[in-house]
Structure 1
Amino acid sequence: MNNSSPAPKMSGLLIGGSGLIGGFLLHYFKTSTPEIDVRAPNSKKLSLRELNDIISYFKRHKPDFVINSAITAIRSDALLSYEVNYLGSINLARAALALNIPYIHISSAATLPPGEKLTEEDHLPLNASLPNYAKSKLMTEMTLKHMHEKYGLQYTLIRMAIVYGAHDHKIQGINRLLFNIVDRAMPFMLTKRKGVLHSYSNASKVPYFIHYILKNREKFSGQHFHFVDPQPVDLAQLILTIKSYMNLKTPREIYIPYPVAKAGNNFMNWVIKVFNRIGYKAHVPAEMIFLENFYKTQTLSCEKLKNSGFVDPNPQATIFTELPALIDYYIARWEHLNLFSSFSRKDFNAQHGMKKKVNPAEEAAEIFLSSPRKLLDNIHNKGIGPLEEIL
Structure 2
Amino acid sequence: MSQEDCTAALAGKTGILIGGGGFVGGALMHFFKSFAGGAVNVFSPNSKKLSLLEADDIRRYFERVRPDFIINCAIAALGSDAQLSCGINYLGAVALARAALELHIPYIHVSSAAVMPSGTDLREEDRLALGAALPHYAKSKLMAELALEQLAPGGLDYSIVRLGIVYGTHDHKIQGFQRLLFAVVNRGMPFLFTNRRVRHSYSNVRKLPCLVARMLAHRPEFSGQIYNFVDAEPVALGQVILALRDSLGLRVPRAIYLPYPLARLGMGAVARVVGLVRRLGVEARLPPEVMFFRNLYQSQALSPAKLRDSSFRDPEPTATVFSEIPYLLRYYIRRWEEQGLIRAGARELDDSALRAQRFVQDPAALLQEVAEQSRHPFLRQCSLEHHEEPPAKG
TM class, shorter-chain normalised?
0.7 to 0.9
Determine whether 1:129 maps to 2:137: no
Compare 273-282 and 30-39 and name the one that shifted more. Answer: 30-39
Partner residue of 1:189 out of 187, 192, 204: 192
Determine whether 1:271 maps to 2:277: no
Paired residues in the alignment total: 344
Residue 345 (structure 1) shift: 2.4
Question: Which residue type is aligned with residue 258 of structure 1?
Answer: Y
Determine whether 1:84 maps to 2:75: no
Summarize deviations over 1:348-374 as a string: whole Å, max 9, x none: 2589799xxxxxxxxxxxxxxxxxxxx
The corresponding residue for 1:295 is 297
Partner residue of 1:38 out of 16, 37, 42: 42
The corresponding residue for 1:226 is 228
Question: Which residue type is aligned with residue 129 of structure 2?
Answer: P
The corresponding residue for 1:314 is 316
The corresponding residue for 2:99 is 95
The corresponding residue for 1:345 is 345
Residue 31 (structure 1) shift: 2.0
Distance in 2, Cα, partners of 1:241 & 1:67: 34
Residue 35 (structure 1) shift: 2.8
Alignment of 1:1-391 (within 5 A): 9-33=12-36, 34-149=38-153, 151-192=154-195, 194-340=196-342, 344-348=344-348
Summarize deviations over 1:207-232 as a string: whole Å, max 9, x none: 10011111101221110000000011
Paired residue secondary structure (1:226): strand
Residue 347 (structure 1) shift: 4.9
Distance in 1, Cα, partners of 2:262 & 2:133: 22
Residue 72 (structure 1) shift: 1.2
User: Residue 124 of structure 2 contacts residue 226 of structure 2 at CA under 8 Å; is this kept in 1?
Assistant: yes
Residue 311 (structure 1) shift: 1.1
Distance in 2, Cα, partners of 1:135 & 1:306: 28
Residue 68 (structure 1) shift: 0.2
User: Residue 15 of structure 2 contacts residue 69 of structure 2 at CA under 8 Å; is this kept in 1?
Assistant: yes
User: Residue 247 of structure 1 contacts residue 351 of structure 1 at CA under 8 Å; is this kept in 2?
Assistant: no
Paired residue secondary structure (2:46): coil
Identify unmatched segments of 5+ residues in structure 1: 1-6, 355-391
Summarize deviations over 1:61-104 as a string: whole Å, max 9, x none: 11000000011111111110001011111100000111010000
TM-score (ref. length: structure 1): 0.85
Paired residue secondary structure (1:158): strand
Question: Which residue type is aligned with residue 189 of structure 2?
Answer: M
User: Residue 107 of structure 1 contacts residue 157 of structure 1 at CA under 8 Å; is this kept in 2?
Assistant: yes
- Calculate the aligned-residue CA RMSD, in Å: 1.7
Distance in 2, Cα, partners of 1:347 & 1:93: 46
Question: Which residue type is aligned with residue 266 of structure 1?
Answer: G
Summarize deviations over 1:281-336 as a string: whole Å, max 9, x none: 11112111111111111000011101111011110100000110000000111111
Alpha-carbon distance change, 278 to 103 in structure 1, aligned in 2, over 3 angstroms: same
Alpha-carbon distance change, 56 to 351 in structure 1, aligned in 2, over 3 angstroms: closer
Q: Percent identity among equivalent residues?
A: 49
Identify unmatched segments of 5+ residues in structure 2: 1-9, 355-394
Question: Which residue type is aligned with residue 254 of structure 1?
Answer: I
Distance in 2, Cα, partners of 1:351 & 1:99: 52
Question: Which residue type is aligned with residue 130 of structure 2?
Answer: L
TM-score (ref. length: structure 2): 0.85
**Superposed structure 1 runs of 4+ greater than 6 Å apart:** 350-354
User: Residue 247 of structure 2 contacts residue 350 of structure 2 at CA under 8 Å; is this kept in 1?
Assistant: no
Summarize deviations over 1:236-265 as a string: whole Å, max 9, x none: 111111010111111112221111111221
Distance in 2, Cα, partners of 1:76 & 1:109: 18
Residue 129 (structure 1) shift: 1.2
User: Residue 248 of structure 2 contacts residue 350 of structure 2 at CA under 8 Å; is this kept in 1?
Assistant: no
Distance in 2, Cα, partners of 1:145 & 1:308: 21
The corresponding residue for 2:374 is none
The corresponding residue for 2:384 is none
